[in-house]
Amino acid sequence: MTVVMITEVPGADAAFAEGMRQAGVVDALPAARGFHGHWSGAAGSGYRVIELWDSREDCQAFADGNIAPNLPPGGELPPMEFFELNFEIKPAP
């Protein structure tokens, strides 16, 4: 079932996101298995990411294979919260 993933990278900002873009992570995301969408921005205590995936496993595989190797030395993936999607409502064309 389709899932929404929410995570926050404590202390990170737009420069962190730019670093992920420069590392190729952002460019790899659209072709990732099970990926549907990404929304992110600076939040009160860090950088918040919200994504839509076919499954938790697809999201975790992308994070392990693309994000984790590009974190600063000693950095770890932040905890990801998942919930199953009941509705996706898009604006009318």
Residue 86 CA to residue 11 CA, distance in Å, equals: 31
pTM beyond cutoff 0.85: yes
Q: Return the CATH architecture of domain 3-84.
A: 2-Layer Sandwich (3.30)
Alpha helices in 4-88 (DSSP H): 14-22, 25-28, 56-62
CB 53 within 8 A of CB 36: yes
Per-residue pLDDT of the chain (93 residues; tens, 9 = 90+): 899 999 999 988 888 889 889 999 999 999 999 999 999 999 988 999 999 999 999 999 999 999 999 888 888 999 999 999 998 888 999
Q: Residue ranges per domain, the chain?
A: 3-84
The order of strands in the sheet holding 81-84 is 35-43, 46-53, 3-10, 81-84
Do 53 and 35 contact (CB within 8 A), yes or no?
yes
